[in-house]
Amino acid sequence: MKLLAIDRGNSRTKTALQTGHSEFEYQVFENDPEDSLLLYIRSISFDAAIMSTVAADNLKKTSEYLQSKGFFLLVDPHTSLPLKNEYATPETLGTDRITGAIGAWKQMGERDVLLVDAGTCMNYEFVINNIYQGGAISPGLRMRLKAMHDYTGKLPLLEVPDSSIELIGKSTSGCMASGAVLGLCREIEGFANEYEKRYPGIAMVLSGGDAPFLGKYLKNGIFALHKEVVLIGLMEILKFNLNAKN
């Protein structure tokens, strides 16, 4: 059975088409317009599909097309999950957060896991005893760089640096890069250390678009790196619901 997963993020849309037992074909699309995504979906064959979206638009045309093709899930607070969800306000829980947690949990062999998802926001997602607990949210790397520019009179708007970050900045941009990048890495390591103290042996996963960049500045060996845990989680939710249906 060929399965399709779609993750509609704040800036980009990612898809995964499962063509074999564990083989995925990944695609990435800009969020505007929807037509490029729909054109791709119409060009492939699949037996069931699932979609998660955190963007402001509702992908009406895509949803209608997927619905017309057969079994289709649009993830919402009422979707059946392979993990128990003990989040106090599930109706406010971003679908990317719970699906990412499921993906990291599955990638780590269904162990207790802390997922650090480095995207527009930093999402810290915690699963223990097959129960999703919640975690933390903080500004992501680009948000931190933009905030320094937007809320001051003279600081420049920096892109994510493409050169090595020095602890001691020797210029304004160097100081901003040190504070944003290394400060964020120390935050990540601080959360990881606290979780490790409370839950010894917990698995750690680093994911998201900025994960490869940030991973260069984190202590070696703390995290397993996997960029596509949300898509993996979506696939697990889809399989779980297909099995319940059959």
User: How does 50-74 read in b/e, with b if 16+ C-beta sit within 10 Å?
Assistant: bbbbeeeeebeebbeebeeeebbbb
Contact indicator for 223, 204 with CB cutoff of 8 Å: yes
Mean pLDDT of 111-131: 96
Same domain, 120 and 201: yes
**Which pLDDT band holds residue 161 (cuts at 50, 70, 90)?**
confident
The last residue of a domain, from among 56, 74, 92: 74
Q: Are 6 and 39 contained in the same domain?
A: yes
Please confirm, yes or no, whether 112 is among the known catalytic residues: no
Q: How many domains does the chain have?
A: 2
- Which helix (H) or strand (E) covers residue 98, if one does? helix 95-107
- Is residue 221 within 8 Å of 204, Cβ to Cβ? no
pLDDT, average across residues 210-232: 89
Task: Give residue 227's pLDDT.
Answer: 81
Judge if 55 and 153 occupy the same domain: no
| Same-domain pairing of 19 and 111 | no
Residue 89 burial by CB count (10 A; 0-12/13-18/19+): exposed, middle or buried? exposed
Tell me: do 41 and 149 sit in the same domain: no
| DSSP β-ladder status, 48-53 and 84-85 | unpaired
128 φψ region: left (φ > 0), alpha (ψ -120 to 50), beta (else): beta
Residue 143 φ/ψ, nearest 5 degrees: -65, -40
Q: Predicted confidence band at 213 (pLDDT cuts at 50, 70, 90)?
A: very high
Under a CB-based contact definition with an 8 Å cutoff, are residues 105 and 117 in contact? no
| Overall size of the chain counted in residues | 246
What spatial distance separates the first Cα and last Cα of the chain, rounded to whole Å? 14
Q: Which of 7, 35, 57, 96 is catalytic?
A: 96
Could you give phi then psi for residue 30, rounded to 5 degrees?
-70, 150
Q: Does residue 1 surpass a pLDDT of 90?
A: no
What percentage of residues in the chain have a pLDDT greater than 90? 77
The 10s digit of each residue's pLDDT in 38-80 is 999 999 999 999 999 887 666 888 999 999 998 999 999 999 9
pLDDT of 193 above 90? yes
Neighbours of 178 (CB within 10 A): 17
**pLDDT confidence band for 11 (50 / 70 / 90):** confident
Flag whether pLDDT at 220 surpasses 70.
Answer: no
Instruction: Give the DSSP H/E element, type plus range, for residue 66.
Output: helix 60-69
The model's pTM is 0.92
pLDDT for the residue 58: 65
Residues 116 and 213 in one domain: yes
104 and 199 in a single domain? The answer is yes
pLDDT value at 246 more than 80: no
Range of the domain at 122: 77-246
Of 103 and 11, the structure prediction assigns the larger pLDDT to 103
Predicted confidence at residue 33, as pLDDT, reads 73
pLDDT band at 190; cut points 50, 70, 90 = very high
Q: Decide: helix, strand or coil at residue 219.
A: coil
Any idea what the Cα angle at residue 66 is, between residues 62 and 69, rounded to 5°? 145
Peptide bond into 33 cis (omega under 30): yes
Asked if residue 204 and residue 107 are part of one domain, the reply reads yes
Query: Is 183's pLDDT higher than 80?
Result: yes
Angle in degrees, 0-180, between the axes of helices 229-245 and 95-107, rounded to the nearest 10? 90
Tokens of 115: 């997922």
Domain boundary among 20, 51, 74: 74
